[in-house]
Chains A and B, each alone.
Chain A
Amino acid sequence: MTGTSNLLELMTRNLRQSGIYIAFVFIVLLFAVLTGGTLLSPGNLTNLVLQYSYILILAIGMVMIIVAGHIDLSVGSVVALTGAVAAVVVIREGMPWWVGIIAALITGVLVGIWQGFWVAIVGIPAFIVTLAGMLIFRGLTMQVLDNVSLSPFPAEYQRIAGGFLNGLLGGPGYDVFTLVIFALAAVGFGVQQWRVRMRKLEYKQSVEALWLFAVKVLLVAAVIMAFGWRLANARGLPIVLILLAVLVLIYGFVTQRTVFGRHIYAMGGNLDAAKLSGVKTKRVNFLLFVNMGVLAAIAGIVYSARSNSAQPGAGNMFELDAIAAAFIGGAAVTGGVGKVQGAIIGGLIMAVMSNGMQIMGIDQSTQNVVRGVVLVLAVAFDVWSKKRSSVSA
């Protein structure tokens, strides 16, 4: 089956996944117009990255949990708890900032082991375990903090969420270093795509026509560079963006290219069949929750660094944003379907909508209504597309 596939085939091959990109572009354009361009201004784009990074980090772990057929309601509380532990270690005990980070990560691992034990080994539904976790970890947060907020963090710790890499190469009014990094990313994307294409041809598979390939790569590179140009004109390259990019690359690889990742999809698609194919389902479930704990800890570090404090009520309702991001990003309610990149886009859709509505001065209550409606519509689309595909069988 060598040859080239055409544009239509490419678009329709996976409506569920490609639909989300189209929706994202549409929503960005819509709010860019509605806000009179403010949405895409350098300052606001930077702000957008900083403000929603921790939701995106949570969404990465959440989509994996959802693909496996579970849910995690506790991540908001875990964000608070890990941030609180870091604050106690760094602020109250006066230890170096990196000790706080390690303490927070260890806390995340312990939380994951606790929840993984109940879900994977004992077999309690994750909904119940993490509902309990939501209460337990919120309570522990309050105890760790003695019910008061702790602040401020030392400057090094704050840099995790508020820091920028800039000025390293100077620049007349814009940051050259940022542009160099983005240029490298754009070129890296092109090279990687080219290698995938070559490998596919080596295995005699169909690839898109060369002009289409070039257009695709150039388009993505242009978007990357436009984004980079905006950031370079504001405060430079946010450190948290690098962290986010690294996480997306790692987890994209883990979910799509490793045996572990494949087992998550197999379990979500048909648990019985996965068991009878030799998948060690308990182990996979356990590791999934440990992984979620670690990612929640990273989000907790970023959030506490950004707010420059640890508060008893931190991270409230974050779990809902993360879950919404995964579902808007194409994850199936029944498990087995969903991608890290989809969840990121889903999270960005939520972020752009919130941010855009804030700029427009729409009050919080209306924002909640709009975001809720979008979530229902996104899942309705998922249900509809599944029905449609089963009818055509």
Chain B
Amino acid sequence: MNENILEMRSITKTFPGVVALKDVNLQVRRGEIHAVCGENGAGKSTLMKVLSGVHPAGSYEGEIHFEGEHVSFSSINDSEDLGIVIIHQELALVPHLSVAENIFLGNEKATAGIINWHEVNSAAVRLLEKVGLSENPVTPVGHIGVGKQQLVEIAKALSKNVKLLILDEPTAALNDDDSRHLLGLIRDLRDEGVTCIIISHKLGEIAAVADSTTVIRDGSTVETIDMAEATRNGEDLTRRIIRGMVGRDMENMYPDREVTLGEEVFRVEDWHVNHPTQPGRKVVDGASLNVRAGEVVGIAGLMGAGRTELAMSVFGKSYGRDITGTVYMHKKPVKVDSVADAIKAGIAYVSEDRKRYGLNLIDDIRRNVSAAALKRVAPRGWINGNEEIAVAERYRTSMNIKAPTVMSVIGKLSGGNQQKVVLSKWLYTEPELLILDEPTRGIDVGAKYEIYSIINKLAASGKAIIVISSELPEVLGICDRVYTLSSGRITGQVPVEDATQERLMELMTMEKD
């Protein structure tokens, strides 16, 4: 039998206009824990979707060999039949169904469509023992914690006679105890012969559990590291992975800028935010930061570090509960209990998810631009429609929004143009602080340059700007100062002159002592 349980050979996957994977190779040995690392957007998830059949055979180039056989999956069912099971970062459990029902969902133990509950529940108990979970199988899944839910997912995978288990960010939502338990379980499974692929941002974890690590960058494989061999050679595993993840040349993607710093505009002190539905889980843990006029400050952190949560909680407490801490504008404390308060205080937040949180997609440019500052075109309570059009027209020209008229429906514009509309909308509120959350996500390179230029212009006009980004080159390219965030805590503050991608990545992956 072949030593490699899985071989993915020269996988190339393109989406309209984007090459997501380019000639990627992945070899996984039987019975090992294989980590896949890369920055957000490097192509890890796409690769796993190709493997599991979410992207069916034919929609990509290259070959997949599983247990020595050339396979082509047309749906996720095909890959599961062969024992390849993927557990997504967003758990796919039905909260109102019981643990046992969830484990056997889609795979019910039934004769002629009638479920044998005794068999289901006793089988569930056996599987739960295997993953070290002592829960009653009839408990609704929604009543147990996220850590235990993760174990239920694994039990579900085991019920399908899994040979290759893929875990996407399994510990992102877990606390330290639950993470340790889960990693222990993954080791046990390996020893029982289940091969695991684990995708994780937590490099400390990877260094601890993985037998080998494949690093992906910009849709291509960089290298596969044999962890045992690297350790024998006395290498620092985390550093080696980071070098692989970020080691690209910095191209001249960022416009130059002159920096003139003014007075402090914004400061937040000792900011604490709890998860909205999981009481006691701290999402932001005592964060403090400040921004001066004309300054572009970056917040770098990996997925789940609490970047968006920090921003949205500051912006009118739009996220989380039991929020404590103080926000200062121009060194005076301000109230930010509602979005209206925050806008009045001069704060604007441009969401990372513009389609969900930023735009009314069925409406036109004109009404989206005026949405957050409608009073400005309606001084006496009724809207001056002509003035509204004139305002939108001004932004269409100054922001170079490519659309025939301001009556064009937003949903039909490209990502870059949509982002310019969102920016226009928030600029029209005349903010003093702009929080830009992933301002260039899903935007092509040319439009990115335009967005960076706009950011520069705004800073030059004296606005304070916070840029949240998971792309480190972007952070280094446009910011003056960078805060790093890990597990809801600010782990460092680095002036851009002293910052390197390696240094930031170290701070971003710093775990709790």
Interface residues of A (CB under 8 A from B): 1, 13, 199-200, 202-203, 205, 253, 257-259, 262-263, 265-266, 269-270, 272-280, 332, 336-337, 389-390, 392-393
Contact = CB atoms under 8 A, between A and B. Distances in A.
Contacts of B371: 262, 266, 273-274, 277
Contact of B340 (A203, A280, A392): A280
A203 B359 contact: no
Given A266-B371, A270-B361, A392-B412, A258 B378 contact: yes
Interface in B312-365: 315-316, 318, 338-340, 342-343, 349, 351, 356-363
B16 to A, nearest CB: 13
B303 interface: no
Given A203-B387, A276-B349, A258 B382 contact: yes
B339 A275 contact: yes
Nearest to A272: B357
Contacts of A277: 339, 371-372, 425
Contacts of A276: 315-316, 318, 339, 349, 351, 357-358
Specify which of B357, B371, B378, B387 lies most central, judged by the most chain A CB atoms within 10 Å of its CB. B371
Given A203-B389, A257-B383, A258-B383, A273 B405 contact: no
B357 A390 contact: no
A347 to B, nearest CB: 24
B372 A278 contact: yes
Interface in B359-394: 359-363, 367, 371-372, 374-375, 378, 381-383, 385-387, 389-390, 393
Nearest to A263: B374
B382 A269 contact: no
Nearest to A334: B362
B328 to A, nearest CB: 21
Contacts of B387: 203
A202 B389 CA distance: 12
B287 interface: no
Contact of A336 (B339, B342, B363, B378): B363
A270 B360 contact: yes
Given A276-B358, A392-B412, A259 B378 contact: yes
A275 B318 contact: yes
Given A202-B386, A257-B383, A278-B372, A262 B367 contact: yes
Specify which of A199, A202, A274, A278 lies most central, judged by the most chain B CB atoms within 10 Å of its CB. A278
A263 B168 CA distance: 40
A269 B361 contact: yes
7 contacts: A259-B378, A262-B383, A265-B363, A270-B356, A276-B318, A278-B338, A278-B339
B261 interface: no
B409 to A, nearest CB: 7
A1 B405 contact: yes
Contacts of B286: none
A273 B386 CA distance: 24
Given A276-B315, A280-B340, A266 B360 contact: yes
A203 B390 contact: yes
Contacts of A274: 360, 371
B446 to A, nearest CB: 20
B56 interface: no
B411 interface: yes
Nearest to B383: A257
A272 B375 contact: no
A203 B412 CA distance: 26
Nearest to A269: B360
Given A203-B387, A278-B340, A1 B367 contact: no
Nearest to A337: B362
A221 B416 CA distance: 46
A266 B386 CA distance: 19
Nearest to A277: B372
B468 to A, nearest CB: 15
Shortest Cβ-Cβ A-B pairs, 7 listed: A269-B360, A203-B386, A277-B372, A393-B412, A278-B340, A278-B339, A270-B360
Nearest to B358: A273
Specify which of A272, A280, A336, A392 lies most central, judged by the most chain B CB atoms within 10 Å of its CB. A272
A253 B340 CA distance: 25
A262 B349 contact: no
A263 B375 CA distance: 11
B219 to A, nearest CB: 26
A278 B405 contact: no
Contacts of A259: 374-375, 378, 381-383
Contacts of B374: 259, 262-263
A269 B410 CA distance: 12
Nearest to B387: A203
B412 A257 contact: no
Contacts of A393: 411-412
A273 B357 contact: yes
A336 B360 contact: yes
A9 to B, nearest CB: 11
Given A258-B383, A278-B339, A389-B409, A273 B375 contact: no
A337 B362 CA distance: 8
A199 B388 CA distance: 13
Contacts of A1: 393, 405
Contacts of A258: 378, 381-383
Contacts of B363: 265-266, 269, 336
Contacts of B315: 276
Contact of B411 (A203, A265, A266, A390): A390
Contacts of B342: 278
